[in-house]
Structures are given as structure tokens and as C-alpha cells.
């Protein structure tokens, strides 16, 4: 079965994310290695790295991914911003190398009104520059996006462009966010719709590129192009779509993490994971749709 987990806070120390993952019964983790709203965070200390490694091993070494800073925009046409973005992303990859985190998720950025083709070319060039200066141990996952504003990555063709034109395709993959693809116009609410969407991904990109999932229901309607996460089964996607994904044999060993809102006691993560596990092994036709 897929490795189901959540994005957890690193408040108080990176290693404490593993304690939070245990609290919710998760088997896969996503974190920010540093404050996602800062350009120049402090380097990792030897103590941080040691505590992280020990905590990770203590709970059985579940799959882990980092999510890059939201400040980074490798597709921008502004020279100062792209320079800062390349440096920040290189630093993120370095932190992942130090922590032995195998995946880093990044949004393809925004073209700022200059057009998709220009934006995709700029993103690919800047991505390669960041990879030039880093080792091969970390796989960069291009995250599917909702298509809000001038953001890139909402169409499968856009992901395919980057994978085809980067000088480092062997170091790339895709992270599929269920809320984002739905908001971008790819229906996954029923088995039929889900299979049609995955067939489209296979045709344009290739299923083998998918390495990670973000499991989020959507407050936004199909093709609403707004990124608003909802708890599993309580949004516009509903349970049947998640059931079909969770029981897809192609993704039986993939990490899948929640990115839904939660309070300090994390009960929302526990509840969402319970819902997801309840869908395992259950035919989609037997799942009652949320209305």
C-alpha cells in the first residue's frame, strides 16, 4: 500500500517532525528544512543533522521530502530575483544532501506575464544552474499547480517541456497534488475521470516520472484555478477519486502526504489518514460520494 503521511511542522527542531508524524500514525513525511519565508536562513548545524538522522532511524526511516521555499521563482524575468532564487534553491538541495532527504518539491514558478514558453525556458535554465552546483543525491520533483495567475505547471505539457529540455532529466521527477490538478481542470472525481486523467499524464509525460503525491481535497470547483486545500472527502473531489488513486497498483509504493489545515493537537491529520486508510482495498464503486 502507499506510504501515507503528512507535512509536519519542524517547530523546535527538524527532528521533532518525526515525533509529530508518529503522533498522527503517518508513514511518509514532508517538511520545510528552513523557514519558507526567508531568503537567507542559517546553515544546518552538525547537531541538527545528527538529531534528524537519529529520529528518522528511530521510527524506521519512512520516506521524506522537503518542500522548497515559496519565495523561489526560477521562472522570473527579473535578474535579481532569479539570482536569489537559484542561490536559495541550491542551498535547499544542499540541506537535503546533508540530511539525506532524497526528494525536494518545487513549484515551477511564475512567468510574470511574459508567457508560458518564455517562462518555461527561463525555469528550465535556472533549474539547471541550481543543479550544476549540487550533487546527484537529491531528486527535484516538479509540483503540479492549480494554474492561478501566471503560474507554471498546471498543464501536463508544461511539466513535459521541463523534463525534455533540462540537462538533468535523471535528477527530476513529478509530485502530483490532487487539489492542484483538479483545480487546473483534470477531473479525478470518479474512476472513469481519474483513469482518463492518468491516461493523459501517461501520454504527455509518462507515469514513471511520478515519484510523490500531495493528497488534498479541493475547496475549489473543477477548473476553478484556485489553490484551496480541503480535508479528504469534504471537498469537490470526494472520496471516490481518492479511493481510485489509493488502489492504483502503479502507485502502491509511492509516498503520499497530506497538506491540509491542522491545529496543534494534529487530530485533523489523524482523521484524514483514517479516512484514506479506510479506502484501501475498497472498490471505488462502493465508496459513497461526498455531496
254 is catalytic: no
Question: How would you write the chain as a 3-class SS string?
Answer: CCEEEEECCCCCCCCHHHHHHHHHCCCCEEECCCCCCCCCCCCCCHHHHHHHHHHHHHCCCCCEEEECCCCCCCCCCCHHHHHHHHHHHHHHHHHHHHHCCCEEEECCCECCCCCHHHHHHHHHHHHHHHHHCCCCCCEEEEECCCCCCCECCCCHHHHHHHHHHCCCHHHEEEEEEHHHHHHCCCCCCCHHHHHHHHHHHHHHCCHHHEEEEEECEECCCCCCCCCCEECCCCCCCCHHHHHHHHCCHHHCCCEEEECCCCCCCCHHHHHHHHHHHHCCCCCHHHCCCCC
Give me the catalytic one of 97, 187, 202, 259. 259
194 is catalytic: no
Give me the catalytic one of 227, 230, 240, 269. 227
291 is catalytic: no
Give me the catalytic one of 37, 203, 267, 289. 37
227 is catalytic: yes
Give me the catalytic one of 177, 230, 240, 269. 177
186 is catalytic: no
271 is catalytic: no
Give me the catalytic one of 111, 189, 214, 231. 214
Give me the catalytic one of 7, 20, 107, 189. 107
128 is catalytic: no
269 is catalytic: no
Give me the catalytic one of 70, 117, 253, 289. 70
Give me the catalytic one of 171, 229, 231, 254. 229
Give me the catalytic one of 7, 34, 67, 254. 67
Give me the catalytic one of 7, 15, 171, 180. 180
70 is catalytic: yes
Which residues are catalytically annotated? Answer: 37, 67, 70, 107, 143, 177, 180, 214, 227, 229, 259
Amino acid at each position: 500500500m502507499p506510504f501515507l503521511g503528512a507535512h509536519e511542522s519542524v517547530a523546535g527542531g527538524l527532528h521533532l517532525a518525526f515525533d509529530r508524524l508518529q503522533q498522527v500514525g503517518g508513514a511518509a513525511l514532508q517538511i520545510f528544512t528552513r523557514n519558507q519565508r526567508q531568503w537567507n536562513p542559517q546553515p544546518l548545524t552538525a547537531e541538527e543533522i545528527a538529531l534528524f538522522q537519529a529520529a528518522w532511524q528511530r521510527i524506521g526511516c519512512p520516506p521524506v521530502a522537503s518542500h522548497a521555499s515559496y519565495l523561489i521563482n526560477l521562472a522570473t524575468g527579473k535578474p535579481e530575483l532569479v539570482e536569489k532564487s537559484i542561490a536559495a534553491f541550491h542551498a535547499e538541495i544542499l540541506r537535503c544532501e546533508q540530511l539525506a532527504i532524497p526528494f525536494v518539491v518545487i513549484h515551477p514558478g511564475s512567468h510574470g506575464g511574459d508567457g508560458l514558453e518564455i517562462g518555461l525556458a527561463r525555469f528550465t535554465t535556472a533549474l539547471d544552474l541550481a543543479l550544476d552546483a549540487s550533487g546527484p543525491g537529491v531528486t527535484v520533483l516538479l509540483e503540479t499547480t492549480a494554474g492561478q495567475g501566471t503560474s507554471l505547471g498546471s498543464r501536463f505539457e508544461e511539466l513535459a517541456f521541463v523534463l525534455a529540455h533540462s540537462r538533468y532529466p535523471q535528477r527530476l521527477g513529478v509530485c502530483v497534488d490532487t487539489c492542484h490538478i483538479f483545480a487546473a481542470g483534470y477531473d479525478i472525481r470518479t474512476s472513469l475521470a481519474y483513469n482518463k486523467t492518468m491516461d493523459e499524464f501517461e501520454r504527455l509525460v509518462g507515469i514513471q516520472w511520478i515519484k510523490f503525491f500531495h493528497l488534498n481535497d479541493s475547496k475549489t470547483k473543477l477548473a476553478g484555478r484556485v489553490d484551496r486545500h480541503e480535508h479528504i472527502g469534504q471537498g469537490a473531489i470526494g472520496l471516490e477519486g481518492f479511493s481510485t488513486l489509493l488502489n492504483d497498483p502503479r502507485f502502491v509504493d509511492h509516498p503520499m502526504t497530506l497538506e491540509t489545515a491542522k491545529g496543534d493537537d494534529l487530530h485533523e491529520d489523524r482523521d484524514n489518514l483514517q479516512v484514506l486508510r479506510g479506502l484501501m482495498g475498497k472498490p471505488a464503486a462502493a465508496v459513497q460520494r461526498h455531496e
